[in-house]
């Protein structure tokens, strides 16, 4: 083992340091194993119930009428998530597109969209029209209202009650914090919020942005009252194998409404050829519980390694996880660069590439990104990025296997070690961030959280 790690460039000191952290995570990891086992059976049952067979893997072309594999996969998703219906399509370009389809398909002029738990994901700002944008919901006469979380991060029930009116048609809740300053919500919390909203207005549609959340828990938002649940296939549910796509699971009516926006009125879900992706979609969904588990273990491992080294991490090493994103505040530009070089060096694709901070259009600072993925931009695969500005934090996520995520974290430590940016003693006392961490760990964390990824990625993705 040591020899192989040495060949990969991991020194004995780094290996030993990280190995000790790993030993302390056994119980935590066992919980992840149990969740994955449960979810694996859930997916398997849905596949068996729907009699998945070889012919499901044949793709259609052209209009895609009667695409048996596509239609069966949508039933598998619906049964796994306990919903009446689901769209799972390569025509859905990304998570933002899936969310936009769900919103446009279910809202009409004069309706109001309510965000009861703060601002949604950055890319939705232009979909909704929070930032004026061509073709936004606002341009079609759909108004928007937002109730922010209370200071302590809990729901502002009084504010939500006051915000619900005659016009309120759809409520949008985002499970993962994405790159915001709040904690991610548990499925149980989302259930409470939905129950509260429905008590005031039973016919309101509750939609949950489930990106990064699938299979992190044994229940999903659709199990606690969500009418619609939306996500991206190049995150958790694609299992790393889906090369594109998004899904919308929910009530028959909501999903059908979305389908008329995905294609067009009248055609809905009847058209949309699967081309050659069916097999990858099935196989990826089958593996998704395990892949998500690996990414979760990687995130918790990173949190604990860097916490022990004395750096501020969000979430911290012990917090329950609701998504697979890990933020680490390294405190120096050199630290951010070394971390990302380590992630890149651990990649199966483009490991020979040396990432550099770069001026990118639309960003207010240079950015460094590390990704050696099989699928472009896939964030279920091992990846990291950081803006070259204080507090010098990086966001780390993914890893198709726990073993690979672990190597990525170790390699990042290795690069910091080689640059003498850290010392590998037992406590982390001698490392840079310790003093500032002690004196103001909360503010560092918040700083670190407040660097929205889309804030510096915006120009890249859209
Ligand atoms: C990734 C993500 C999205 C959608 O992003 P895309 O880049 O368009 O796939 C939406 N909401 C959250 C919380 C996300 O993490």
- Closest ligand 1 atom number to CA of residue 176: 13
Q: What is the pLDDT of residue 122?
A: 83
The two structure tokens encoding residue 229: 């649940």
Residue entry with tokens 């964030």: 379
Measured in Å, how far apart are the chain's first and last C-alpha atoms?
43
Out of 90, 92, 96, 213, mutate this one to test ligand 1's pocket (max ligand atoms within 8 Å of CB): namely: 96
Q: What is the pLDDT of residue 387?
A: 87
How far, in Å, are 124, 175, 212, 321 from residue 193 at the CA level? 21, 12, 20, 19
Question: Which of 74-78, 344-348, 371-375, 386-390 is least confident?
Answer: 386-390
- Closest ligand 1 atom number to CA of residue 175: 13
Confidence of residue 177 (pLDDT cuts 50, 70, 90): confident
The dihedral formed by the CA atoms of 127, 370, 26 and 321, expressed in degrees to the nearest 10: -20
Residue whose CA lies nearest to ligand 1 atom number 6: 95
Tell me which residue of 178, 47, 68, 64 sits closest to 118, measured CA to CA: 178
Q: For the chain, what percent of residues have pLDDT higher than 70?
A: 90
Interval between CA 447 and ligand 1 midpoint (Å):
21
- Closest ligand 1 atom number to CA of residue 246: 9
Out of 122, 127, 209, 233, mutate this one to test ligand 1's pocket (max ligand atoms within 8 Å of CB): namely: 209
> Is pLDDT of 346 > 60?
yes
Helix (H/G/I), strand (E/B), else coil: 312:
strand
Distance CA(111)–CA(168), nearest Å, equals: 6
Q: What count of other Cβ atoms lies within 10 Å of the Cβ of residue 459?
A: 12
**Each residue's pLDDT tens digit, 104-155:** 999 999 999 999 999 998 889 999 999 899 999 999 999 999 999 999 989 9
How far, in Å, are 58, 80, 166 from residue 73 at the CA level? 12, 10, 37
- Closest ligand 1 atom number to CA of residue 124: 10
Sheet holding 85-89, edge to edge: 85-89, 246-250, 228-232, 205-209, 168-174, 112-115, 143-146
Distance CA(81)–CA(227), nearest Å, equals: 11
Distance CA(388)–CA(234), nearest Å, equals: 26
β-strands 312-314, 168-174: how paired?
unpaired
Q: What is the pLDDT of residue 182?
A: 79
**Each residue's pLDDT tens digit, 436-448:** 443 333 333 333 3
Distance CA(238)–CA(234), nearest Å, equals: 6
Interval between CA 424 and ligand 1 midpoint (Å):
36
Contact 164, 197 (CB under 8 A): yes
DSSP 404-423: HHHHHHHHHHHHHHHTTS--
Distance CA(260)–CA(238), nearest Å, equals: 24
Q: What is the pLDDT of residue 317?
A: 94
Residue entry with tokens 């909360």: 442
Contact 400, 291 (CB under 8 A): yes
Contact 206, 187 (CB under 8 A): no
Q: What is the pLDDT of residue 363?
A: 62
Q: What is the pLDDT of residue 428?
A: 58
Q: What is the pTM of this model?
A: 0.91
């Amino acid at each position: 083992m040591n020899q192989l790690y040495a060949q990969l460039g991991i020194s004995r000191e780094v290996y030993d340091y990280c190995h000790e952290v790993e030993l302390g995570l056994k119980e935590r990891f066992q919980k992840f194993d149990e969740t994955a086992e449960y979810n694996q059976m859930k997916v398997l049952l849905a596949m068996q119930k729907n009699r998945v067979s070889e012919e499901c893997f044949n793709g259609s072309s052209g209009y895609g009428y009667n695409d048996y594999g596509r239609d069966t996969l949508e039933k598998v998703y619906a049964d796994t998530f306990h919903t009446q219906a689901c769209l799972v399509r390569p025509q859905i370009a990304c998570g933002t597109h899936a969310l936009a389809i769900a919103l446009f398909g279910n809202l009409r002029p004069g309706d109001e969209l309510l965000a009861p738990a703060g601002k949604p994901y950055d890319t939705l700002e232009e979909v909704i029209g929070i930032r004026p944008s061509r073709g936004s919901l606002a341009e079609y006469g759909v108004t928007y209202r937002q109730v922010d979380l209370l200071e302590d991060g809990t729901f502002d029930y009084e504010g939500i009650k006051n915000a619900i009116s005659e016009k309120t048609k759809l409520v949008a809740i985002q499970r993962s914090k994405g790159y915001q300053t709040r904690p991610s919500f548990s499925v149980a919390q989302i259930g409470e919020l939905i129950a509260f909203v429905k008590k005031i207005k039973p016919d309101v549609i509750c939609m949950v942005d489930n990106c990064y959340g699938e299979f992190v828990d044994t229940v999903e938002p659709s199990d606690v009252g969500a009418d619609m649940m939306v996500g991206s296939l190049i995150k958790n549910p694609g299992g790393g194998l889906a090369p594109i796509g998004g899904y919308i699971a929910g009530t028959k009516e909501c999903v059908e409404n979305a389908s008329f926006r995905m294609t067009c009125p009248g055609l809905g879900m009847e058209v949309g050829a699967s081309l050659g992706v069916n097999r990858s979609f099935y196989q990826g969904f089958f593996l998704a519980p395990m892949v998500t588990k690996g990414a979760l273990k990687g995130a918790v491992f990173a949190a604990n390694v860097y916490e022990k080294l004395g750096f501020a991490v969000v979430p911290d090493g012990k917090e329950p996880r609701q998504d697979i994103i890990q933020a680490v505040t390294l405190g120096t530009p050199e630290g951010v660069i070394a971390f990302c070089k380590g992630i890149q060096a651990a990649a199966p694709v483009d490991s020979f590439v040396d990432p550099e901070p770069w001026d990118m259009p639309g960003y207010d600072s240079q950015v460094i990104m590390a990704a050696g993925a099989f699928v472009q931009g896939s964030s279920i695969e091992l990846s990291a990025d950081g803006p070259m500005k204080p507090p010098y934090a990086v966001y780390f996520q993914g890893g198709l296997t726990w073993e690979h995520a672990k190597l990525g974290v170790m390699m990042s430590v290795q690069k910091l070690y080689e640059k003498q940016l850290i010392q590998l003693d037992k406590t982390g006392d001698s490392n840079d961030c310790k003093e500032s961490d002690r004196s103001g760990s909360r503010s560092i964390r918040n700083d670190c959280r407040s660097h929205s990824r889309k804030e510096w990625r915006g120009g890249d993705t859209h």
